[in-house]
Amino acid sequence: MTTTATPRRKVAIICSHGGLDEAYPALILANAARQSDIDAFVFFTFWGLDVITEGKVDHLHVNLAGNPTSPMPTIVAGLPGMESLAASMMKKQMEELELPTAREMLQIIDEAGAELYACELAMKMFKRSKADLVAQVKDVITAGDFYDLAEGAQIIFT
């Protein structure tokens, strides 16, 4: 009697935005995947690099201006200090919910076995090196490398 092994489930998550409100979906999905024993990796590209950049991860803001779902009129959202105010309010709410910070989430998903990668082209565009990134980033890879890693995976773009 021969049995065919069921292939492991895996998910490839693309994080292309660096706002506080935009980073968490990718981080939460990666964490949920690992909690469900699904292999997961997150590919950070363009502004998503801010989430894994050492000097930026603790200072992510909330994008209000131009956000069609923001309850605030664009003219008000664009005023100086509004993004910082919104980020402070969001961080306070996250603390009340005992949600880990972005930096803590990176540590949690790394310890859970998710793999974090930075986009080589975006790194070049923003003049960053691997030394600029948080320690949890496994490597800097190309889009082609991403496709190789994502073979057979469900791809989620956040």
Q: What is the pLDDT of residue 67?
A: 64
Q: Specify the amino acid at residue 121.
A: L
pTM exceeding 0.85: yes
Q: What is the pLDDT of residue 62?
A: 82
Phi first, then psi: what are they for 41, rounded to 5°? -140, 150
Is the alpha carbon torsion for 59, 17, 26, 148 positive or negative? negative
**What topology does CATH give the domain 11-157?**
Hypothetical Protein Ychn; Chain: A, (3.40.1260)
Q: What is the pLDDT of residue 112?
A: 97
The predicted-structure confidence for 126-146, as pLDDT tens digits, reads as follows 999 999 999 999 999 999 999
CB 68 within 8 A of CB 39: no
Q: Which of the residues in the chain have pLDDT under 70?
A: 1-3, 64-71, 73-78
Give me the torsion for CA of 51, 52, 57, 62, rounded to 10°: -10
Local structure of 3: helix, strand or coil: coil
Our measurement of the distance from residue 27's CA atom to the centroid of its chain's CA atoms, rounded to an integer in Å, reads: 5
